[in-house]
Chains A and B, each alone.
Chain A
Amino acid sequence: MSYDHFKVLAIEDDSGDAELLRRHLESISTFDTTFIHATTPQAAKDVLSKDTVDVIFLDQMLGADTGMHLLSQLRDSGELRPIIAMTGQGDEYMARDSIRNGADDYLVKGDLAPELLRRSIENAIGGFKRRQLEQINAKLAKDLKQKNESLKLKNRRLAELYDTAHEFVDNVSHEFRTPLTVIKEFTSILYDGLAGDVSAEQQEYLATVLDRVDDLATMVDDMLDISKLEAGLLGIARKVCTVREVFDRVQKTLERKAASNQVHLATNIAELLPSIYCDPEKIGRVIINLAINAIKFSDEGGKVTLWADKDSELDTIRIGISDNGPGIDPDKVSEIFDRFQQAGGEIRSSTKGFGLGLNIARELVRLNFGDIDVSSELGEGSTFSFTVPVYDPQLLIRRYLERIQSFCENAQYVSLFVVKVAATTDTLALEDAERFLQHQIRRSDFVISSPSGGWIVVAASNQAELGALMSRIESARNEANRNRPGSQLPQLTFMMRGNWLIHEDSQEFVEAFESEVNELGLTYA
């Protein structure tokens, strides 16, 4: 549509009035108009449905009040084009009604003048454009609202799926473990001679059953760990501990396994190793996975060594499992940590599949800020080893940031807060509080504790998410206390220290963290 050229529809039952309007329009020098005249509402509708009309002049006295009626009809049916109402002399009340019913302007027939007409048309076109914009806006707003609703719905479904996945994994675990427990219990009752004498040969067979039940239980753990790792459900409770403590957790299991496979198991921990910072249970699982692998792949009379030493990389301890078994083909080494892969010959693959264990081992090591490696030579044996960071808050926070940054390419906020308990809290209550807090934080968060009570918590959250996290912790504490009337969890005081965008302010954040570390008197162990 151009401002110069208009197609005008006059809906007017009086031919004289229509002719007058046509002449006035023609006399406007800047306009070039095509004039269409309709005498009845039906004729007008026919024109509007077929023709491109730019401006409509509508006589309000179109036989009784059908003009006004037609105006409402047109607007109600979504007609957006400019409509100028035409009224007779002294019919101003009708003029106001026509505006109310959707006319852009009104003109009194007796007062028509070219200049007035020109201005009225321009105003009406302005109104038309405004209506178009309003309609587009309304449609956008509606679309946005719908998209918002559908996003909310999808979020809700995801949350439900997450819960379902969690529940499913737990139930599967339960279903597998129950029959395993029955098999293990009755077999061990027979093995121990509680149900009568057992011959040496029978005892040997029963020992094999027990051994394989343990394997199966480990495989159930592995399977669940993998699904939890993938779903982000596996929690982690890192704390200060010693290599010795971690080894002690797994020693018994590995000795039994080695004895039943007739493999010699040796342990070699370097002296004066500093304390490490990790989830001892998870690191224990890594050692079990790697060592059981080594034991299984060793021939009878073979030797498996569990060792720990300082790493060439400063501030890191390396824990390793070495065997003198068949070794791994160099071509296979790179894929050995991938799920369901297994190195070695076909016979071995069909009987000893441990791809799952290695995949989990790598994920668990990474969750503890370490890396896993393998070095192997065919016919000589293999060494699987991984790193664990030494307990040094400054080092740990850098490892944490590296990990968070590698996860999130987009802007990621970290929040720093300190949790304190009353100075009079006893050791048991402190341990309780620590266990509780570790359980509450997510694996993307980081908590470091002071032996004197108090925790520095780094949460991968912005301000809003942090508020949600804190209120979740508080309500979980209340819930836990309702369930344990005997020994209440101590009151936790949260002190917010700040919020940083790590891709931009990581140095500031590290400084704030270090000042908290100094405040709590945490030092290099």
Chain B
Amino acid sequence: MPDRRRLLVIDDDRKIAQAVAVRLKAAGYDVRIAHDGDAGLTAVAEQLPDAIVLDLRMPIRDGLSVLHALRAQEETADVPVVVLSASAVDKNSALHAGAQYFLPKPHDSKLLLASIESALGNHVAP
């Protein structure tokens, strides 16, 4: 598929990142993985993804900081971000920081796919 949508999964738990990637690849997405916030931002700088699945609590640079960095840069300000976090308490901070969706872990994979589709749809809409 020449125009597969590119997703970036940022999660410090390698097994969660792997499982989410398996799920997203099966749904037809081109998926890359980063294991901390800094690596995530580097990956974004190398190749702009169509959407990002982002964990919040990570060492080195946490998800909120990644969100702020993304929103502060003109090129990345509009990339849709779906936050996938085990800390439900961070929902409001994530939404305030500019995440499109927030799904608490353990999440429903159908809901994750629906959120990504919706985020991508909103992204291209005028």
Nearest B-chain residue to A485, judged by Cβ: B71
- Specify which chain A residues have a CB less than 8 angstroms from the CB of B77 in the assembled complex: 486
Tell me whether B106 and A174 are in contact (CB under 8 A): no
Q: Which of A192-211 contact B (CB under 8 A)?
A: 192, 194-195
Asked if B97 and A177 sit within 8 Å, CB to CB, the answer is: no
Out of A170, A182, A184, name the residue touching B13 (CB < 8 Å). A182
Of B64, B89, B107, which is within 8 A of A181 by CB?
B107
Contact call A173/B87, Cβ cutoff below 8 A: yes
B19 at the interface (CB under 8 A from A): yes
Q: Known: A177-B105, A188-B109, A217-B106. Contact between A182 and B16, CB under 8 A?
A: yes
- Alpha-carbon gap, A184 to B92, bound state (A): 25
With contact pairs A188-B109, A435-B92, A486-B71 given, residues A181 and B98 touching in the complex (Cβ less than 8 Å): no
Q: Verify if A484 is at the interface (C-beta below 8 Å from B).
A: yes
* B87 CB to nearest A CB, Å: 5
Q: Hey, which chain A residues are within 8 Å of B19, CB to CB?
A: 181-182, 185-186, 189
Contacts of A213 in B (CB 8 A): 106
Whether B97 contacts A185 by the Cβ 8 Å rule is no
Minimal Cβ-Cβ distance residue in B for A252? B108
CB-CB contacts below 8 Å: A144-198 with B: 170, 173-174, 177-178, 180-186, 188-189, 192, 194-195
Per the 8 Å Cβ criterion, residues 6-24 of B in contact with A are 13, 15-16, 19-20, 22-23
List the A side residues contacting B88 at CB < 8 Å. Answer: 173
On chain B, the residues within 8 Å of A212 by CB distance are: none
Write the chain B residue with the least CB distance to A180: B106
B72 at the interface (CB under 8 A from A): yes
Q: Does A439 contact B (CB under 8 A)?
A: yes
Answer whether residue A480 sits at the interface, using C-beta atoms and an 8 A cutoff: yes
Query: Hey, which chain A residues are within 8 Å of B5, CB to CB?
Result: none
Known: A181-B86, A181-B106, A439-B92. A484 touches B98 (CB 8 A): yes
Chain A residues whose CB sits within 8 angstroms of the CB of B123 once the complex forms: none
Main secondary structure of the interface of B (DSSP, over half): helix
> Which of A173, A182, A186, A486 is close to B98, meaning CB atoms less than 8 Å apart?
A486
Contact partners of A486 in chain B: CB under 8 A: 71, 77, 98
Specify which chain A residues have a CB less than 8 angstroms from the CB of B87 in the assembled complex.
Answer: 170, 173-174, 177
**Contact partner, A182, options B15, B72, B95, Cβ 8 Å:** B15
Q: Is the CB–CB distance between A185 and B20 below 8 Å?
A: yes
Contacts of B97 in A (CB 8 A): 483-484
Q: How large is the interface on A (under 10, 10 to 19, 20 to 34, 35 or more residues)?
A: 20 to 34
Q: Is there an interface contact between B15 and A484, defined as CB atoms closer than 8 Å?
A: no
Contacts of A217 in B (CB 8 A): 106
Q: How far is the CA of A195 from the CA of B26 in the complex (A)?
A: 10
- Of B19, B71, B97, B104, which is in contact with the most chain A CB atoms at under 10 Å from its CB? B19
B16 engages A174 (CB within 8 Å): no
Q: Which residues of A contact B109 (CB under 8 A)?
A: 185, 188
Q: Complex formed: what's the CA distance from A343 to B117 in Å?
A: 46
Query: Which residues, 71 to 114 on B, are CB-close (under 8 Å) to A?
Result: 71-72, 77, 86-89, 92-93, 95-98, 104-107, 109
What's the tally of chain B residues with a CB closer than 8 Å to chain A?
29
Residues in B neighbouring A436, C-beta threshold 8 A: 92, 96
A439 / chain B contacts, CB cutoff of 8 Å: 92
Within the complex, what minimum Cβ distance (angstroms) separates A27 from chain B? 88
Alpha-carbon distance A177/B57, docked complex (angstroms): 12
Q: Give every chain B residue within 8 A of A170 (Cβ-Cβ).
A: 87, 89
Identify the closest chain B residue to A193 (Cβ): B26
Q: Tell me whether B92 and A181 are in contact (CB under 8 A).
A: no
- Name B105's contact: one of A180, A186, A194, A483 (CB within 8 Å): A180
B98 with A185: CB separation less than 8 A: no
Interface string of B49-84 (1 = CB under 8 A from A): 000000001000000100010011000010000000
CB nearest neighbor in B for A187: B19
A217 and B19 CA atoms in complex are apart in Å by 18
Q: Please, which residues of chain B bring their CB within 8 A of the CB of A186?
A: 15, 19
The proximity string for A residues 476-509 relative to B, scoring 1 for CB distances below 8 Å and 0 otherwise, is 0000100111110000000000000000000000
Which of chain B's residues has its CB closest to A438's CB? B92
Query: When the two chains form their complex, are residues B106 and A484 in contact, meaning their CB atoms are under 8 A apart?
Result: no
- Measured CB to CB, the closest approach of chain B to A505, in angstroms, equals 35
Q: What is the CB-to-nearest-CB distance from B33 to chain A, in angstroms, rounded to a whole number?
A: 14
Neighbouring B residues of A173 by C-beta, 8 Å? 86-89
User: Is A485 a contact of B96 with CB atoms below 8 Å?
Assistant: no
**In the bound complex, CA of A113 to CA of B24 (Å):** 112
In the bound complex, residues from chain B placing their C-beta under 8 Å from that of A188 are: 23, 109
Are A178 and B92 within 8 A (Cβ)? no
Binary interface encoding of chain A residues 13-50 relative to chain B, with 1 for a CB under 8 A from any of its CBs, else 0: 00000000000000000000000000000000000000
Smallest Cβ-Cβ distance to B20: which chain A residue: A185
Closest A residue to B26 by beta carbon equals A194
What residues on B are CB-neighbors of A177 within 8 Å?
86-87, 104-106
A-B pairs, 7 with minimum CB distance: A185-B19, A177-B86, A181-B105, A181-B106, A184-B106, A174-B86, A180-B106
- Residues on A lying within 8 angstroms of B by beta carbon are 170, 173-174, 177-178, 180-186, 188-189, 192, 194-195, 213, 217, 435-436, 439, 480, 483-487
A-B contacts, 28 listed (Cβ < 8 Å)? A170-B89, A173-B88, A174-B87, A177-B86, A177-B105, A178-B16, A178-B86, A180-B105, A181-B13, A181-B16, A181-B107, A182-B13, A182-B19, A185-B16, A185-B20, A188-B23, A192-B26, A435-B92, A435-B95, A436-B92, A439-B92, A483-B96, A484-B71, A484-B97, A485-B71, A486-B71, A486-B98, A487-B98
With A194-B26, A484-B97 already in contact, 16 other A-B pairs whose C-beta atoms are closer than 8 Å: A174-B86, A174-B87, A177-B87, A177-B106, A178-B16, A180-B106, A181-B106, A182-B13, A185-B19, A185-B106, A185-B109, A194-B22, A195-B22, A435-B92, A483-B96, A485-B72
